[in-house]
């Protein structure tokens, strides 16, 4: 538990927080790492259900609108795959690429 600081005595700041982070070896995260960490903290069931709703919406929406939703989902999946490819086991890679291919085929079918 952290000790409380004395409210009468202001905290002394000698360096900026950015300089302190570099000085003590803290890692500055880029946006990709922040988004992946936020995704990792989400409830998996909720993420699955939201993705399923988005896929069904893309399949049910007419024409180019449905294709655009499916292409947005495919773009998000491609981004996540590119970030996690090195740590994904080979059987999972095959399944994910197969799902991505089916999603792109469905988007192409909806667009035509």
For residue 58, being part of any structural domain is answered with yes
Could you list the residue range(s) of the whole structural domain that residue 73 is in? 43-111
For residue 102, being part of any structural domain is answered with yes
pLDDT digits (tens, 9 = 90+) for 15-57: 555 555 554 555 666 888 888 888 889 999 999 999 999 999 9
Give the count of domains, the chain: 1
pLDDT digits (tens, 9 = 90+) for 47-102: 999 999 999 999 999 989 999 999 999 999 999 999 889 999 999 999 999 999 99
Q: What is the pTM of this model?
A: 0.68
For residue 85, being part of any structural domain is answered with yes
Q: How far apart are CA 25 and CA 48, in angstroms?
A: 37
pLDDT at 8 over 80: no
For residue 9, being part of any structural domain is answered with no
For residue 65, being part of any structural domain is answered with yes
Residue 75 and residue 67 in contact, taking contact as beta carbons nearer than 8 Å: no
Which structure tokens are listed for 29? 């995260």
Residue 90 and residue 109 in contact, taking contact as beta carbons nearer than 8 Å: no
């Amino acid at each position: 538990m952290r000790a409380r600081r004395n409210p009468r005595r202001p905290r002394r700041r000698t360096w900026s927080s950015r300089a302190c982070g570099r000085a003590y070896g803290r890692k500055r995260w880029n946006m990709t790492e922040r988004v992946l960490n936020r995704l990792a903290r989400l409830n998996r069931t909720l993420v699955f259900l939201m993705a399923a709703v988005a896929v069904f919406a893309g399949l049910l929406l007419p024409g180019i609108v449905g294709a655009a939703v499916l292409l947005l989902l495919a773009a998000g999946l491609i981004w996540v795959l590119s970030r996690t490819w090195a740590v994904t086991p080979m059987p999972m890679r095959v399944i994910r690429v197969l799902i991505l291919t089916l999603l792109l085929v469905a988007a192409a079918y909806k667009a035509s």
